Structure 1
Amino acid sequence: MVIGLERIQFMTVIKLVSEKEAKGQVKEIYEDIRSFYKLDFVPKVFQAWANNPEKLAAKWNATKDAQQKMGKEKFHIIGLSTSLQTGCDYCINFHTRILQDEGYTDQELRLLIETISGMVASDLFVQGMQLEPDVKPIRVRLEEAA
């Protein structure tokens, strides 16, 4: 008998605002989310934020704005990297799905995850060795200084 491999059943700690219950601003944001991601549902993360419509609006506007400015692909690569660090299964699945929708193949996703894992291992090594930085970011770009 194998112990510990049962699928965990998740229960939220707060009531989500379902699409059927959504009204006014929340309903409008839900429609925008479905359209933006080309989904036929609203992801649960946004349904959780919807308990506070102002927070949902701020979170969605910031999320959408970042994706429009840097590109959906970069945004979700950062999201996947962060989610792998924090161990958030929901988030790993979400960002992976969006990258698949953006055209990422299984091989590309594997390479991306291998690269992220390798960088994490390198970072831990550098921290453990307490290496002093030998390359620092440019503080002021030359164009901005002129």
Structure 2
Amino acid sequence: MVVREDVWSWTLSLDGRYSVKSACSFLIKDLMVMGIPQGEVLKAVSRVWKSWAPSKVIVFSWQLLLDMIPSRSNLIRWGISLPEGGVGCVFCDVLSESSAHLFLSCPSFFTVWYQVSRWLGWDFVMPLGLAQQFQVFTGLGGGKRVRLGLLLVWHIVIWTI
């Protein structure tokens, strides 16, 4: 029997040391395997952290942008069985309950985005997905403080929904 000392080792790099680059490379490959369009989502995910919001809100937004929240469609995709006919939205029971439906197009929450847009003096156009909504919403500000404020408003709306 060979006795070896226990050591921490990062299996995603050749030298066994953790690096942000190796973690990001792994995540990007993982996103591509999952079929997530990497350009829009990666831009959004990289910008979501630069916020004044509490970290638990930022983490939830990050999970939402990566479509990793336990929506009914994700539960099915992950192999978790639901009661018969349990794929419909819990609020409107019309469509499959996906992250994008819950946080953008569900009639229960579509009006929230519409009212926030009106409050900001913007015309509201329904985006194709959450990453597009994030990019449009947080990209409409002029200066850094305005963009940070819009990012905070985005986090508040997501957290409230």
Bigger proportion of residues as helix: 1
TM over 0.5: no
- Compute the TM-score of the two structures, normalised by the length of structure 2: 0.29
- Compute the TM-score of the two structures, normalised by the length of structure 1: 0.31
